[in-house]
C-alpha cells in the first residue's frame, strides 16, 4: 500500500545507509509471496484505503506467524496508517466489517464517524531518547493501545491515534506503527536513523555508531511543517 508518498520512506532509508557506506537490498513481498523472516532486517508497509486493506489483510494473515517470529527476533517493522491498523489485533470498518490484523502490535482499531485530518506534531520517545516528530494524518480510525504496546509519542498538535488520549503511534519490541504520512522520514532524520540503527544491529549483532549527516534540509522541512501546524518554531 502506498498513498501520500509513503514509498518515499524507503528511498530515505536507502540513501541514509548509502551515505554512510552501507549497502541495502530491497525486496518487495506481494500478495501470495512467501515471507521468510530470516531474510530481512527491516520490513515496511505503507498506508492505504479500506479497499486496499481488505485486499491485503487476508494475505497478511497467512504470514502472521512469520511476522511474529521476525518481531520476536528483533526485526524492525514500520507500519504506516492503514499499516498500523493491520499490525494490530484488528480493524472494524465503517460498515461494521471486521478485518483481522497480524497481531504484532497490541492495539485495536474501529472506524469513527469523522476523519482526523491535518498536520501532526508529537514529542516522540524511543528507548529513552526524545525528539519532536512531524507528519500528516488523514484517517477515520480510532486506535487504542493495549498494555503490551507503548505510544510512539504524545500529541502536541493534531489528533493522533484516537483524538481522545493524546497518544500517537505504537511501539512493541522494534515494531513501530504510526498514522503519520508525509512521507514521514524525510522530515524526521532522528527517527529514520533510530530505525536504521536497529536494523544494522539486527544484521550485525552489534550496536552501530552512525556517522553524522548534514540534516539542514530535513530540519528545515520539519520546521515548515511545525509552522504549518500553527505552532511557533
Instruction: Give catalytic residues, as residue numbers.
Output: 81, 181
Q: Per DSSP, which regions of the chain are E strands?
A: 42-45, 76-80, 90-92, 98-100, 107-126, 129-145, 153-157, 167-168, 170-172, 175-178
By residue count, the chain amounts to 233
Residue the block writes with cell 502490535: 105
Residue the block writes with cell 511501539: 171
C-alpha cell at 176: 513501530
Task: For residue 187, give Cα distances in angstroms to 49, 75, 111, 209.
Answer: 23, 24, 28, 21
d(CA 101, CA 46): 15
Rg (CA), the chain: 17
d(CA 34, CA 65): 12
Amino acid at each position: 500500500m502506498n498513498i501520500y508518498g509513503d514509498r518515499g520512506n524507503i528511498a530515505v532509508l536507502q540513501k541514509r545507509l548509502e551515505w554512510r557506506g552501507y549497502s541495502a537490498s530491497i525486496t518487495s513481498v506481494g500478495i501470495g509471496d512467501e515471507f521468510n523472516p530470516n531474510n530481512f532486517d527491516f520490513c515496511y508497509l505503507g498506508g492505504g484505503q479500506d479497499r486496499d486493506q481488505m485486499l491485503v489483510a487476508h494475505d497478511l494473515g497467512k504470514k502472521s506467524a512469520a511476522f511474529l517470529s521476525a518481531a520476536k527476533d528483533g526485526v524492525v517493522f514500520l507500519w504506516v496508517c492503514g499499516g498500523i491498523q493491520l499490525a494490530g489485533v484488528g480493524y472494524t470498518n465503517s460498515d461494521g466489517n471486521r478485518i483481522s490484523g497480524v497481531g504484532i502490535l497490541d492495539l485495536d482499531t474501529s472506524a469513527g464517524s469523522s476523519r482526523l485530518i491535518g498536520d501532526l506534531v508529537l514529542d516522540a520517545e524511543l528507548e529513552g531518547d526524545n525528539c519532536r516528530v512531524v507528519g500528516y494524518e488523514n484517517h477515520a480510525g480510532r486506535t487504542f493501545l493495549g498494555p503490551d504496546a507503548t505510544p510512539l509519542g504524545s500529541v502536541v498538535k493534531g489528533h493522533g491515534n484516537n483524538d481522545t488520549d493524546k497518544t500517537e503511534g505504537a511501539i512493541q519490541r522494534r515494531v513501530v506503527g504510526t498514522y503519520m504520512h508525509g512521507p514521514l522520514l524525510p522530515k524526521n532524520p532522528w527517527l529514520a536513523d533510530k530505525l536504521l540503527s536497529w536494523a544494522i544491529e539486527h544484521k550485525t549483532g552489534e550496536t552501530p555508531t552512525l556517522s553524522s549527516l548534514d540534516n539542514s534540509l530535513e530540519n528545515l522541512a520539519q520546521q515548515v511543517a511545525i509552522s504549518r501546524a500553527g505552532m511557533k518554531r
